[in-house]
């Protein structure tokens, strides 16, 4: 059974120790010294925040990411449907803006079964969806193109194993969530990861946490550039196990 844990805060406090005679000895920290430590941590935190490249990466990449809610047909010929969440991101081609995602995020759906929203919750009107089963890519045209913020596309060929990356998406429907990791491998092929029928395979493997709902969202380098689409999960449970 999948469980999603929100880890709010964990603190481990060592309260006492043993003397050479086996007796407990109290540990005392003067209030003045503790206050000085708090002040020093506050100063250090400001310097850390100024250098924190992850915050800058998220700031430039996140506005281009959209949340996709799809009402899918369970089985051909059946009226039964299910709701699934996914992600996408904005690209600009020849001065025209589109939304790029995975085909399996938006197919097979019922008529008007794809709903798209921006980070601030604004809804977009879907006009057209074109897709390529061989690469599991879908391109979505929406009416409100003036609201779209295009992402910057990076050169995945310049990425090396061990480079840091950020995944942005809607795991378990939790929109615009951020996870962080490294490139674990490049050029993965001949994989069966829930993307059956995908002929064109040249996957980047990452240890950044990817869960259902991340599909279609961007994988971003430390320059804030998109270098891949989060497509599939390799795990026994169907969720991230890292």
Which residue is catalytic, options 70, 87, 131, 136?
136
Reported as half-sphere exposure (CB side, CA atoms, 13 A), residue 204 has a value of 29
Beta 24-26 vs 177-188: how paired, if at all?
unpaired
Distance from C-alpha of 65 to C-alpha of 168, rounded to nearest angstrom:
7
Residue 4: strand, helix, or coil: coil
Sign of CA dihedral 218, 90, 101, 153: negative
Cα dihedral value 192, 229, 197, 74, nearest 10: 90
- Catalytic (active site) residue 136: yes
Q: Is 47 left (phi over 0), alpha (psi -120 to 50) or beta?
A: alpha
CA separation, residue 107 to residues 8, 114, 118 (Å): 36, 9, 20
Which residue is catalytic, options 70, 87, 104, 170?
104
- Catalytic (active site) residue 104: yes
Find the angle CA(142)-CA(212)-CA(125) to the nearest 5 degrees: 15
Q: Which residues are catalytic?
A: 104, 136, 215
């Amino acid at each position: 059974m999948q469980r999603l844990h929100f880890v709010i805060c964990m603190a481990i406090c060592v309260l006492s120790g043993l003397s050479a005679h086996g007796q407990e000895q109290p540990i005392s920290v003067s209030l003045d010294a503790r206050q000085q430590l708090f002040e020093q941590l506050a100063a250090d935190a400001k310097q850390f925040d100024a250098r924190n490249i992850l915050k800058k990466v998220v700031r430039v990449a996140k506005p281009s990411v959209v949340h996709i809610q799809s009402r899918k047909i369970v089985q051909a010929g059946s009226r039964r449907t299910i709701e699934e969440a996914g992600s996408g991101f904005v690209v600009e081609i020849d001065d025209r803006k589109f939304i790029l995602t995975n085909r399996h995020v938006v197919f097979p759906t019922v008529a008007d079964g794809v709903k798209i929203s921006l980070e601030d919750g604004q809804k977009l009107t879907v006009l057209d969806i074109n897709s390529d089963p061989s690469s599991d890519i879908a391109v979505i045209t929406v009416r409100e193109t003036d609201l779209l913020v295009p992402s910057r596309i990076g050169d995945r060929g310049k990425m090396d194993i061990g480079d840091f990356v950020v995944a942005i998406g809607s795991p378990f429907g939790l929109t615009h969530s951020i996870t962080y990791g490294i490139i674990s491998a490049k050029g993965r092929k001949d994989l069966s990861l829930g993307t059956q029928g995908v002929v064109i395979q040249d996957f980047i493997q990452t240890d950044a946490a990817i869960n259902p709902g991340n599909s279609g969202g961007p994988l971003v380098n430390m320059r804030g550039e998109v270098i891949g689409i989060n497509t599939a999960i390799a795990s026994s449970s169907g969720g991230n196990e890292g």
